[in-house]
């Protein structure tokens, strides 16, 4: 057996300590699978005194020296956040180390910079754990589906919001109550902004879109709405039309035939995160609690779904180790694996021009002609109506409308006009709808 491959670990929280444990427990199997043993060269942490489980001689606070040490082959980064992770990984790659990262924020913001650095240095950059935890997803997108043309990637990629929405659907609770319950149960952070406002999902959407469409997509290119405005009424309305509410990360290739004033020629991509109603018959509808799932539509492969645990120390560590084995095998063979490329360079279409469908529930006066007046507002914005349900009660009525696909701005403008109409007493629920035939 040849000399061991040496790994530098940056960060030793929940994921990092699970990585260390698995590296030791699975040592014999990893050696057989890689062809050489793997040895931990050092573990960079901020407070060495907080890690009594790690052999003292491995701990260091000097991450920069660790990642550039001549004997280190591979760097595993599970610190999270932009800095110092960015600087450390760039230094590691410049020094010829291959990198495994679980850092979605960094990859979403600085993916192009990091991939360029990896290509320049001829090293690997893998980050399966950055999206949907343990679910093997990025490698299948990058590699297994490399001979196909992707149409859409639609994911439930944030466990906290999925837990909250699942519990709203089960109990009829409002958002505030469900969030409080999730916080108590340990499924939401003390400051839940990153999850609840969709920042976490948007970072993952940017990574998915970049890989799926071979184009550079940054977190700032992603349209983002969180779930804090989702009401118990929205959830109830969804159930009435055979749907359930999910926070979806949607990455689509939109054909040039779907007119875009901003990108009049060629296909473009639309990347967005927002709550949406999906039919209960859709494979994603059954994904409850803290589970994640990603639904993929490709030209030839058709519909695919990947399902599993999206977070947690052990599942995330499984994804990190899978990458570590791949990167280590490449190192043993003296090559770098396929790098992600932005060769297609498709432009990102603004949300206003992205085709979506809306569900709108209105309280209206129960008078003849109201439906006609309302329908006229949709028509005036060029929005075609798919279904209407009208339920009278006393002198009022409820109108439940689902539209066909139209540019998001036209739908939003229609809703604004409805709010101003004399015949409309209130717009009680507005949510986008996905996955309807």
> Which CB, 149 or 387, lies closer to its own copies?
149
Collect all residues with Cβ–Cβ distance below 8 Å to 186 and sequence separation of at least 6: none
97 is catalytic: no
3-state helix/strand/coil string of the chain: CCCCEEEEEECCCHHHHHHHHHHHHCHHHHHHHHCCCEEEEEEECCCHHHCCCCCHHHEECCHHHHHHCCCCCEEEECCCCCCCHHHHHHHHHHCCCEEEECCHHHHHHHHHHHHHHHHHHCCCEECHHHCCCCCCCHHHHHHHCCCCCEEEEEEECCHHHHHHHHHHHHHCCCHHHHHHHHHHCCCCCCCCHHHHCCHHHHHHHHHHHHHHHCCCCCHHHCEECCCCCCCHHHHHHHHHCCEEEEEEEEEEEECCCCCCCCCCCCCEEEEEEEEEEEECCCHHHHCCCCEEEEEEEECCCEEEEEEEECCCHHHHHHHHHHHHHHHHHHHHHCCCCCCCCCCCCCCECCHHHCEEEEEEEEEEECCCCHHHHHHHHHHHCCCCEEEEEEEEECCEEEEEEEECCEEHHHHHHHHHHHHCCCCEEEEEEEEEECCCC
> Which CB, 334 or 394, lies closer to its own copies?
334
> Which CB, 315 or 350, lies closer to its own copies?
315
Closest contact distance (angstroms) between CB of 33 and its own copies is 5
How many alpha carbons lie under 13 Å from residue 239 in its C-beta half-sphere?
Answer: 12
Residues making contact with its own copies (CB under 8 A): 18, 22, 26, 29-30, 32-33, 128, 134-136, 139-140, 143-149, 214, 283, 286, 298-309, 312, 314-315, 317-326, 329, 333-336, 338, 341, 343-344
Closest contact distance (angstroms) between CB of 184 and its own copies is 23
Closest contact distance (angstroms) between CB of 298 and its own copies is 6
Closest contact distance (angstroms) between CB of 148 and its own copies is 4
Catalytic residue among 6, 104, 204, 246: 204
> Which CB, 158 or 403, lies closer to its own copies?
158
Closest contact distance (angstroms) between CB of 344 and its own copies is 7
Closest contact distance (angstroms) between CB of 320 and its own copies is 7
Question: What value, to the nearest 5°, has the Cα angle with vertex 46 and ends 198 and 20?
Answer: 80
Closest contact distance (angstroms) between CB of 385 and its own copies is 31
Q: Which positions are catalytic?
A: 204
């Amino acid at each position: 057996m040849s000399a061991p491959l040496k790994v530098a670990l940056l960060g030793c929280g929940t994921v990092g300590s699970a990585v260390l444990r698995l590296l030791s427990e699975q040592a014999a199997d990893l050696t057989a699978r890689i062809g050489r043993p793997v040895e931990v060269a050092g573990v960079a942490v901020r407070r060495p005194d907080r890690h009594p489980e790690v052999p003292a001689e491995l701990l260091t606070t000097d991450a920069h020296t660790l990642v550039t040490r001549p004997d280190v082959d591979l760097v595993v980064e599970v610190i999270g956040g932009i800095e110092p992770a960015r600087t450390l990984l760039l230094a590691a790659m410049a020094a010829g180390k291959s990198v495994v990262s679980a850092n979605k924020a960094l990859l979403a913001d600085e993916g192009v910079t990091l991939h360029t650095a990896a290509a320049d240095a001829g090293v690997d950059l893998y980050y399966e754990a950055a999206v949907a935890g343990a679910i093997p997803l990025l490698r299948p997108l990058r590699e297994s589906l490399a001979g196909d043309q992707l149409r859409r990637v639609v994911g439930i990629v944030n466990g906290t919001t999925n837990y909250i929405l699942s519990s709203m659907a089960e109990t009829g609770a409002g958002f505030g109550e469900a969030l409080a319950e999730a916080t108590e149960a340990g499924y939401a952070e003390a400051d839940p902004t990153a999850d609840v406002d969709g920042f976490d999902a948007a970072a993952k959407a940017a990574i998915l879109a970049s890989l799926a469409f071979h184009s550079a997509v940054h977190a700032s290119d992603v349209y983002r709405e969180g779930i804090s405005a989702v009401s118990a009424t929205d959830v109830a309305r969804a159930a009435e039309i055979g749907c359930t509410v999910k926070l979806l990360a949607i990455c689509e290739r939109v054909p040039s035939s779907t007119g875009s004033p901003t990108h009049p020629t060629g296909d473009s991509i639309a990347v967005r995160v927002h709550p949406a109603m999906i039919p209960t018959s859709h494979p994603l509808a059954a994904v409850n609690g803290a589970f994640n799932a990603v639904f993929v539509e490709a030209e030839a492969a058709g519909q695919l779904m990947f399902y599993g645990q999206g977070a947690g120390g052990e599942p995330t560590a499984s994804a990190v180790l899978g990458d570590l084995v791949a990167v280590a095998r490449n190192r043993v063979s003296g090559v770098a694996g396929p790098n992600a490329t932005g060769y297609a360079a498709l432009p990102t279409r603004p949300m206003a021009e992205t085709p979506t469908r809306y569900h709108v529930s209105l309280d209206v006066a129960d008078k003849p002609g109201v439906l006609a007046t309302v329908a006229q507002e949709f028509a005036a914005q060029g929005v075609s109506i798919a279904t209407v349900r009208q339920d009278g009660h006393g002198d009022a009525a409820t109108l439940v409308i689902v539209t066909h696909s139209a540019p998001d701005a036209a739908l939003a403008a229609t809703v604004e006009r409805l709010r101003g109409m004399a015949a409309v007493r209130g717009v009680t629920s507005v949510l986008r709808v996905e996955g309807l035939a």
